[in-house]
Amino acid sequence: MTGPLVRLLGLGLRAGGVVVGVAGVRARLARGALRCVVLARDASARTRDKVERLARRRGVPVVIGPAAAELGAGLGRPPVQAVGVADGALARGLMGLAEE
């Protein structure tokens, strides 16, 4: 699941439908602009608490993805703890991968 998930996020990033980083994800969640959130499996407890609580309030599903280093490398970034997905079709694809 990790490879396809990161590849889909990379496509979404290039298309402009993805926000990278905890601060950006929280800001977009607060505005109701995200359809799905991917958290690194090794995200800090504080990050998980903040992002998951806000996502839950907004009814946004949270997917646990690969480790932060792998997630960041796949997106051409340093380690990334959270990625937000604004595109509905991309979010559905990610949720489908997460269920596999």
| Alpha carbons within 13 A on the beta-carbon side of 24 | 15
Give the per-residue pLDDT at 48: 96
Going along the chain from its start, the domains and CATH numbers come out as: 2-99 (3.30.1330.30)
Chain segment 2-59, per-residue pLDDT in tens: 688 999 999 999 999 999 999 999 999 999 999 999 999 999 999 999 999 999 999 9
Q: Could you tell me the pLDDT band of residue 97, with boundaries at 50, 70 and 90?
A: confident
CA distance 25 to 34: 8
pTM over 0.85: yes
As a 3-state breakdown, the chain gives helix, strand, coil percent values, each rounded to 5, of: 55, 15, 30
